[in-house]
Amino acid sequence: MGGRPRAVAVNVAANTNEPGFRGPVYPDGSFAYVPIPEDAPTRPREGFPTDEPLPTYGDLDVPFSLPNTLLGTPIHADPEFPDVHGRERATYGDPFGVKAGPIATLGPGDWLLFYATLTLRPADWRGPGEETVSDAGADGRSGDWLAEEGVPVADALAPDWGAYLFAAMRIDRVLSEPTRDEAAEVAPTNAHLKRDPFDARMIVAGEREASGLFDRVVPLSTPGAGVEANRLVTERSSDSGKGPWWRRPLRFGSDATAELLDRMRLA
């Protein structure tokens, strides 16, 4: 690809709507990636491009307990990263034009970044509940508890929840408005190929060796409040940082992408 790389960041992963809790970010900036549930009809297993089951919450490799009633619920394993939650490829698909449009402007060598809203939790957080989310067995400790107990927290983290970059995918191929067969050629394990009907308006295949989770998050919120965007959003992205900016795709030009790449390497 000619020219310097650009980037687009999109919001993914568990949230207070689906499945009812955010993933944790720990005081040192490490975190756990929790996908959303699969909320669309899916094909029978024999209709998948690859011979694999539909993954569930019980298949996730997370350092806390999930509610028992959630364990059999299928997950929408998208994005997927090599060696994360049992996946082998780097892929992403999206059915919504608000995300698919900006991503479709990228090409090989550009970066697709992923951010999530995460809740600050103690390093030994037990999880969101035993039977249902937020039941009597839930571990409700978060930022207030950490402050009361005097637990050291990385300076850049928001005091309760915040928006954080947590993963990146260097693009190998982008397909805009693909057919099911076209998508299956480049991203056969992507979650949208398990849906019936196939609904992705855009499919990305990432470079395996240059795609994955960070060791530490890169904050997009200020240390003051999760709703407040920091300079990576207000000065370096195309977004104003006003309103619910943490739900929108963020575009970054080549200079801003270079800064982000430096931050990612330190994360």
pLDDT at 31: 98
> How far, in Å, are 46, 68, 115, 171, 215 from residue 13 at the CA level?
27, 20, 8, 20, 17
**Does residue 104 contact residue 10 with C-beta atoms inside 8 Å?**
no
**3-state secondary structure (DSSP) of residue 145:** helix
Instruction: Supply the DSSP symbol for 128.
Output: S
Tokens 């994005």 -> residue: 79
Question: pTM (2 decimals)?
Answer: 0.96
Which CA distances in Å does 203 have to 5, 85, 171? Answer: 19, 20, 11
Residue 265: per-residue pLDDT: 86
**How far is the C-alpha of 55 from the C-alpha of 156, rounded, in Å?**
34
Cα distance from N-terminal residue to C-terminal residue, the chain: 26
CA distance 148 to 27: 14
Distance CA(83)–CA(59), nearest Å, equals 13
| 3-state secondary structure at position 259 | helix
Query: What DSSP assignment string belongs to 159-200?
Result: SSEEEEEEEEEEEEEEEES--HHHHHHH-TT-GGGGBSS---
Would you state the pLDDT for residue 2? 55
Residue 130 is predicted with a pLDDT of: 76
The CA distance from 40 to 52, in Å, is 18
* pLDDT the model gives residue 1: 44
For residue range 42-53, what is the model confidence (pLDDT) as tens digits? Answer: 999 999 999 999
For 146-170, what is each residue's pLDDT tens digit? 999 999 999 999 999 999 999 999 9
Per-residue pLDDT of the chain (267 residues; tens, 9 = 90+): 458 999 999 999 999 999 999 999 999 999 999 999 999 999 999 999 999 999 999 999 999 999 998 999 999 999 999 999 999 999 999 999 999 999 999 999 999 999 999 999 999 999 998 777 877 778 999 999 999 999 999 999 999 999 999 999 999 999 999 999 999 999 999 999 999 999 999 999 999 999 999 999 999 999 999 999 999 999 999 999 999 999 999 999 999 999 999 999 876
Unique residue bearing structure tokens 């240390």: 223
